[in-house]
Amino acid sequence: MAGVSPLPAGVAERPRGPKSFDLFSAVAELRWRLLVNSLRTIRGRLELVSRVFVGFSVTMLALGGAVFLVPLSYLATAQDHPDYLAIALWIIFAFWQLYPVLGSLASVPFEFATLLRFPMTFSTYWWLAFFYGLIEPVCLVSLLWLGAMLLGIGVASPALLPGAALALLGFAILNLLLSRAVYLWLERWLAQRKTREVLGLVFLFLIVGIQFITPVAMRLERHRAGARVSLTSIANIATFFPPGLASFSLQQFHAGDILPGLYACAALGAYSALLAMLLNRRLRAQFLGENLSEAAAPVVVRGGEKVREGWDLRGLSGPIAAIFEKETRYLLRSGPVLFMFVMPIVILVLFRLNPAASGASRGFLSHLSDWAFPVGCAYALLMLTNIVYNSFGGDGSGLQFFLIAPVPMRDVLLAKNISHTTVLAINIALVYIATSFLYSPPRADILLITLAALLFAFPLNLAAGNLMSVYSPKRHDLATFGRQRASAATGFVGMFVQIFVVGVSALVIFGAYHFGQVWLAGVAFLPLAAGTFLVYWIILNKSARAALDRREVLVAEICRVSADATASGRAS
């Protein structure tokens, strides 16, 4: 064949893998082609603009941090306060380790193990994984900051430079290994649905736990002696963590105690060795071809399984009841959605823990017992907009079924809205119980105004939500935390609707205050509610027509399965 020369004699008998450098450059070129090819779509171009913006921000952050760290390290060393360097080391540690974790939860990561189909040795694969971590922006920024610290220390005390370089190098290697190990283990857990969901739940509970730190700390503040003891214990424990060890090492070198400083560096080395082993274990499992399939194993068929009948919902037609049941099952099986529903209660508990809520101080929080119910309800409504504004997002390929089923799209949207309304009603009941338990039962006038305001606000949100679900759909895995953002258009419209609702509500309530009859606001909301319900009804029909007109866009967006997701078996 023209252009293809025959292989030299002997080559066929002795096949060789490519050189490591060729593999590194091939991977770099692959990433570059992925980026270039992504620019073919508007979404890809917008993504690039956003990346450029983020890249610029990260560069500014990196340079700003470096400019700040040089004099800080200089002053800490020159003024005999090397212990202050611990703060910088802890910040760098947190940034280096947490940023990639948040990043991998917020985006679909590159499937590193897909490279294994190519001929490479384990050592090449290991170093590829290591160097891949080295060129991550977060690593480059952190290395720049550590370099800035070394510069500041070196200028302040040139004699300290070798020791500081050793401690900071050990710290950097440890961080690099840790971030790679964390990334690859996360990748492993995120590859399977069940572990992914558990991880997401843990992550969200962690975030909620963090919310409780401030109120708990404020409560501890009342018992200052106890707090001081706790802080000392925390400081002692912190010494055994990598930033604490690096800081301890720097302090010892600064004090001229070389041996303890070297011991601390050795401890960093031991940590690194341990992490290298963990990384090795993960990479070895990948290299040997682990099976992360979640498909059911063949089982002996028992047969004759009795299938339970669908829910009996009087007053709803068969298809609407079926969609209602399906929606409810979906919501109940979604960790993030359930989490969203308990968030209003969490907020009420958080406010309750605040010492100001007990009436010790003046201002908003001292009136919490009055505001708790409306605030909880408003929060519940806001949380629900995440689903209402993208109501087809969680259907995945099932969306096609709505298009082939003999059910008008209007009924599909209506059924979804009925389930959303039910969820809101249940959530409001929970907020009422929580308010009564944590504070006191809401006053009759506040109860009336809040419920009437919801009757006004919710149909408007449903109407806008139906339109945005059709005009700006976005695939959304209801079981996965993070990793998915609503479309910018949806966010903008949602914000506009909330501003309108808050504006009108404020006018109505202040008007009622002006006349000295607060309960009048509740009455005034009722005609407004009738108006928004009419708007909802009109838009429901329009949205249904638009859904059919735009079925290709809906299917393309919602039923889309990315190549990455398919490769990792994440398609649902």
Amino acid at the residue 143: L
Output the six-digit token pair for 482.
Answer: 């993070």
Q: Is 321 in the site for another protein (CB under 8 A)?
A: yes
| Distance, C-alpha 124 to centroid of its chain | 33
Pair of tokens at residue 305: 């399984």
Length of the chain equals: 572
Q: Count the neighbouring beta carbons within 10 Å of the beta carbon of residue 141.
A: 21
Binding residues for another protein, total number by CB under 8 A = 56
363 binds another protein, rule: CB under 8 A = no
- CB 294, min distance to another protein, A: 5
| Closer Cβ to another protein, 418 or 464, answer by number | 418
Where residue 25 falls (left for φ over 0; alpha for ψ -120 to 50; beta otherwise) is: alpha
Half-sphere exposure of 558 (CA within 13 A, CB side): 27
For another protein, which stretch binds (CB under 8 A), given 143-151, 179-187, 245-253, 303-311? 303-311
User: Residue 266, by phi and psi: left (phi above 0), alpha (psi -120 to 50) or beta?
Assistant: alpha
Q: Which of 156, 250, 323, 446 binds another protein (CB under 8 A)?
A: 323
For position 545 contacting another protein by CB under 8 A, the verdict is no
**Of these, 10, 289, 315, 406, which contacts another protein (CB under 8 A)?**
406
Read off the tokens for 424: 């809101």
The dihedral sign for the CA sequence 39, 44, 49, 50? negative
Tokens of 410: 């209007």
- Helix/strand/coil for 262: helix
Pick from 14, 222, 224, 306 the residue near another protein by CB under 8 A.
306
Q: Under the criterion CB under 8 A, does residue 309 sit at the interface with another protein? A: yes
Min separation Cβ 330 and another protein, Å: 5
Least Cα distance to 349 among 425, 454, 430, 424 occurs for 430
Residue of 42, 206, 288, 307 that binds another protein (CB under 8 A): 307
- Could you say which of 40, 117, 224, 302 contacts another protein (CB under 8 A)? 302
Residue closer to another protein by CB (options 409, 497) is: 409
Closest distance of CB 569 from another protein, Å: 10
In this structure, are residues 245 and 239 in contact, taking their beta carbons and an 8 Å threshold? Answer: yes
DSSP tag of 398: G
Between helix 161-190 and helix 122-134 the angle, nearest 10°, is 110
Query: Per-residue string for binding with another protein, 477-496, x by CB under 8 A?
Result: -xx-----------------
**Sites for another protein among residues 2-21 (CB under 8 A):** 4, 6-7, 12
Taking the least distance from each CB to another protein, the nearer of 288 and 301 is: 301
Query: Quick one: tokens of 108?
Result: 């679909």
Q: In the range 188-207, which residues lie near another protein by CB under 8 A? A: 193
Return the range that interacts with another protein (CB under 8 A); candidates 140-148, 203-211, 236-244, 329-337.
Answer: 329-337
Q: Does 42 bind another protein (CB under 8 A)?
A: no
- For residue 530 the two structure tokens come to 């009738």
For the bound state, the minimum distance from the C-beta of residue 309 to another protein, rounded and expressed in Å, comes to: 4
Which residues lie below 8 Å from residue 148, measured CB to CB, with a gap of 6+? 65, 66, 67, 69, 70, 73
Q: Is 568 in the site for another protein (CB under 8 A)?
A: no
User: Stretches 53-61, 404-412, 431-439, 464-472: which one binds another protein (CB under 8 A)?
Assistant: 404-412
The span from the CA of 430 to the CA of 344, in Å, is 9
DSSP 147: H
Does position 296 interact with another protein (CB under 8 A)? The reply is yes
Show the site string, 375-394: x = touches another protein by CB under 8 A, - = not.
-------------------x
| Residue 305 beta carbon to another protein: minimum distance, rounded to whole angstroms | 4
Binding site for another protein (CB under 8 A): 1, 4, 6-7, 12, 193, 294-296, 299-310, 312, 318-319, 321-323, 325-326, 329-330, 333-334, 394-401, 403-408, 478-479, 548-549, 551-552, 555, 559, 572
